[in-house]
């Protein structure tokens, strides 16, 4: 167990990190991600509020459709990444990072007050639900046995409220952060242990901790806020331009648009790239060098990949070195890695 953002979280359970990682890729694993901030934005001006803070097109989301988006500042930096779902119950369901809990909540609450002072109809509620992520190729098959709803009708990034193992009022969202199929289940906190215990009765399901979650998301090229993206990184530099809604780009009406939109058409100084190498693993803060040995960037996340049997990492390099297949060096204590 380790301390994280005011919570005590599991790094790993009985199984080794590698076994847990591979079990998720081949079967499915249960992750307790209840430390994430879950909020409900309601009122007729809820979309106006969210679009004043994020880069995505929230107005175009269909009922129960969600999207990954980004809170940005006026300098174009990323304040956090989050998932926003337009629920059919007349509110937005927002999930953001525990490490940014206070910052994100203050950002949203300040904007709520600002709009309320203008006579707008908007409000915010922090949900005291647990959040369980069931991830892996057999996740839907495992969950289907416990719900009446047909999960084939729940495509990626959509969500529905349903009864799961007899627990009513669970919001099941087809998403995750492992690169696998899966769901995140927002469940009343008092029922979380019951739900987790019921899922774990299936031999397909094993508990997995932070170590496996980190290597799984890194294999899938997914960012960890604070490591791979932060307030000094723009969405374009972070290779997250796809999160920028087409209508929002044209209107340039999100925080930092004057910095971010020109970067889409012009050239940025650096870009986030994926790296693979043999030998010793690359780690965060390791210098990235060109083939002449000049430092050109830095690794932001890195680990051995249990699935690929190679070392994977991501980091930032100047644009001219960002083309796939470019040979680079990474400086390690044991010597350079190609």
Q: Are 142 and 204 in contact (CB under 8 A)?
A: yes
Helix/strand/coil (H/E/C) assignment for every residue in 26-87 = HCEEEEECCCCEEEEEECCCHHHHHHCCECCCCCCCCCCEEEEEEEECCCCCEEEEEEEEEC
Count Cβ atoms below 10 Å from residue 296 Cβ, excluding itself.
Answer: 18
pLDDT digits (tens, 9 = 90+) for 320-335: 999 999 999 999 976 6
Q: Are 287 and 254 in contact (CB under 8 A)?
A: no
Mean pLDDT value across the chain: 96
The verdict on whether residue 114 carries a ligand-binding annotation is no
Q: CATH for 1-34+129-220, among 1.20.1260.10, 3.60.20.10, 3.40.50.1100, 3.30.1360.120?
A: 3.30.1360.120
pLDDT digits (tens, 9 = 90+) for 93-117: 999 999 999 999 999 999 999 999 9
Count Cβ atoms below 10 Å from residue 333 Cβ, excluding itself.
Answer: 7
Task: Give the C-alpha separation, 337 to 276, whole Å.
Answer: 9
pLDDT digits (tens, 9 = 90+) for 191-219: 999 999 999 999 999 999 999 999 999 99
Q: What's the burial of 299, exposed, middle or buried (CB within 10 Å: 0-12/13-18/19+)?
A: buried
End-to-end CA distance of the chain: 34
List the chain domain ranges: 1-34+129-220, 35-126+234-266, 269-337
Angle (deg, nearest 10), helices 210-219 and 17-26 = 60
- The residues, ordered by sequence, that sit 6+ positions from 153 with a Cβ below 8 Å of its Cβ are none
Q: Is the pLDDT of residue 75 over 90?
A: yes
Task: Give the C-alpha separation, 309 to 276, whole Å.
Answer: 10
Q: Is the pLDDT of residue 338 over 70?
A: no
pLDDT digits (tens, 9 = 90+) for 296-323: 999 999 999 999 999 999 999 999 999 9
The pLDDT value recorded for residue 221 is: 97
Q: Are 122 and 46 in contact (CB under 8 A)?
A: yes
Quick one: 35-126+234-266 is in which CATH superfamily? Aminomethyltransferase beta-barrel domains (3.30.70.1400)
Give the pLDDT band of residue 267 (cuts 50, 70, 90).
confident
pLDDT digits (tens, 9 = 90+) for 135-167: 999 999 999 999 999 999 999 999 999 999 999
Task: Give the C-alpha separation, 184 to 159, whole Å.
Answer: 9
- Of 281, 311, 286, the closest CA to residue 298 belongs to 286
pLDDT digits (tens, 9 = 90+) for 129-138: 999 999 999 9
Instruction: Tell me the β-bridge partners of 82.
Output: 69, 96
Question: Do the domains 269-337 and 1-34+129-220 match in fold?
Answer: no
CATH number of 269-337: 2.40.30.110
- Of 166, 175, 131, the closest CA to residue 145 belongs to 166
Task: Give the C-alpha separation, 296 to 318, whole Å.
Answer: 7
- The residues, ordered by sequence, that sit 6+ positions from 19 with a Cβ below 8 Å of its Cβ are none
Q: Is the pLDDT of residue 64 over 80?
A: yes
């Amino acid at each position: 167990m380790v301390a994280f953002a005011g919570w005590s979280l599991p790094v790993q359970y009985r199984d080794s990190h590698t076994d847990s990682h591979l079990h998720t890729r081949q079967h499915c694993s249960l992750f307790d991600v209840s430390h994430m901030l879950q909020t409900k934005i309601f009122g007729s001006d809820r979309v106006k509020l969210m679009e004043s803070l994020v880069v995505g097109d929230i107005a175009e989301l269909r009922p129960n459709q969600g999207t990954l988006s980004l809170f940005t500042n006026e300098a174009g930096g990323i304040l956090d990444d989050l998932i926003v779902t337009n629920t059919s119950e007349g509110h937005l369901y927002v999930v953001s990072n525990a490490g940014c809990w206070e910052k994100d909540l203050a950002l949203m609450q300040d904007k709520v007050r600002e709009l309320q002072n203008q006579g707008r109809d908007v409000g915010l509620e922090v949900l005291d639900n647990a959040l369980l992520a069931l991830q892996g190729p057999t996740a839907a098959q495992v969950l289907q046995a416990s719900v009446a709803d047909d999960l084939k009708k729940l495509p990626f990034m959509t969500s529905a409220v349903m009864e799961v193992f007899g627990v009513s009022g669970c919001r099941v969202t087809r998403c995750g952060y492992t690169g696998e199929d899966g769901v995140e289940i927002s469940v009343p906190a008092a029922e979380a242990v019951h739900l987790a215990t019921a899922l774990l009765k299936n031999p397909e399901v094993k508990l997995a901790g932070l170590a496996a979650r980190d290597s799984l998301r890194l294999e899938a090229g997914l960012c960890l806020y604070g490591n791979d993206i932060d307030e000094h990184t723009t969405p374009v530099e972070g290779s997250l331009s796809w999160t920028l809604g087409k209508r929002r780009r044209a209107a340039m009406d999100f925080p930092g648009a004057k910095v971010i939109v020109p970067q889409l058409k012009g050239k940025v100084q650096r870009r986030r790239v994926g790296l693979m190498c043999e030998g010793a693993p690359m780690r965060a803060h390791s210098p990235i060098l060109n083939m002449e040995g000049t430092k050109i960037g830095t690794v932001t996340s890195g680990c051995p990949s249990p699935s690929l049997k190679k070392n994977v990492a991501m980091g930032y390099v100047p644009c001219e070195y960002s083309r796939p297949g470019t040979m680079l060096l990474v400086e390690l204590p044991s010597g350079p890695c190609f």
